[in-house]
Chain A
Amino acid sequence: MKSAVLVFPGINRERDMARALKLASGNETAMVWHAETSLPAGTDLVVVPGGFSYGDYLRCGAIAARAPVMDAVRDFAAKGGLVLGVCNGFQILCESGLLPGVLMRNAQLKFVCRDVHMRVERSGTPFTRGYNAGQVIRVPVAHGEGNYEADEETLKRLEGDGRVLYRYCSAEGVVDEASNFNGAAHSIAGIVNEGGNVLGMMPHPENHVEEIMGCTDGRGLFAGLVQHHERAA
């Protein structure tokens, strides 16, 4: 699996992401500067990593979403290419129109940096193949604007089409108000687009992939992507 990680000024998780992708796939990851107008030939997966692109000026992800490279990403996604956006990457995908909705300020106005639990709502998608449906995984979050909101119509469609792949929950897998630390609608942690090939999520699975990190629950996402790619090939 050949991955390309986008690099915008102010992004800071691109190396973590490249390392996690290399661990899972065995391949070097291409780092693609935001001013590029095309993706490397043969790219199988585009990742928009976390960080604070353009210092979160204007709105989180707003300026990065209009960078030249995003036109190439839109073309890639339209052809069914896999795109993963994490944290600021999720915000960028929403701002670019690749995913519906918006990430608002956390309901408690606090920047939250800690481990949280999320429930895998469906298995068998490219982004959840490495997990079982209903499985609870522990992943770190680090964001101030992760409160997912969309209009009722959109939320209904997301739920009806099974496009909510990850949801915040307690350690036991119960989705409740107490575990919904940022106030997201329907406790949404991660959603896919209509085609199912673009995922945005707030938590950082790339930071829970090695023993030294204290937890390896994030591995499943990357292993699943590699598996999906090998099957498709």
Chain B
Amino acid sequence: MKARVTVTLKSGILDPQGKAIEGALKSLGVDGIASVRQGKVFDIELAATDKAKAEAALKAAADKLLANTVIENYRVEVLS
């Protein structure tokens, strides 16, 4: 079973890396960039075949390690 965990900074948390990327995109002349926030994507393969179990495991992974919930939100998606 394939899954994806996306970790993003909570709104209001300063993201200097996103800001730098935003500046670079603007200087490249890419049209209409309003703002950029940088996050992380984890593509994970699971042995589980039960969707609910897989989601529970991914949630545990995100809470325990993948995200620092002080500053980050995460989203869990089971892809197949």
Q: Which of B16, B65, B71 contacts A58 (CB 8 A)?
A: B65
**Given A66-B65, A107-B14, A107-B16: 7 more A-B contacts, CB < 8 Å:** A58-B65, A63-B65, A95-B68, A106-B16, A149-B14, A150-B70, A151-B70
Q: Which of A11-19, A97-105, A121-129, A208-216 sits within the interface?
A: A97-105
Q: Does A157 contact B (CB under 8 A)?
A: no
B interface residues, how many (CB within 8 angstroms): 11
| B71 contacts A104, C-beta separation under 8 Å | yes
| B71 contacts A102, C-beta separation under 8 Å | yes
Distance A58 CA – B66 CA, assembled complex (angstroms): 7
Residues on B facing A (Cβ under 8 Å):
13-14, 16-17, 20, 64-66, 68, 70-71
Q: Which of B13, B14, B68 contacts A59 (CB 8 A)?
A: B68
Q: Which of B13, B16, B64, B66 has the most CB of A within 10 A?
A: B16
Within 8 A of B (CB), among A102-136: 102, 104-107, 109
A interface residues, how many (CB within 8 angstroms): 17
Within 8 A of B (CB), among A142-156: 149-151
Distance A105 CA – B15 CA, assembled complex (angstroms): 8
| A102 contacts B68, C-beta separation under 8 Å | yes
- Least CB separation from A100: chain B residue: B70
Q: Which of B13, B17, B71 has the most CB of A within 10 A?
A: B71
Interchain Cβ contacts under 8 Å between A and B, 25 examples: A58-B65, A58-B66, A59-B68, A62-B65, A63-B65, A66-B64, A66-B65, A95-B68, A100-B70, A101-B70, A102-B70, A102-B71, A104-B14, A104-B16, A104-B71, A105-B16, A105-B17, A106-B16, A107-B14, A107-B16, A109-B16, A109-B17, A109-B20, A149-B14, A150-B70
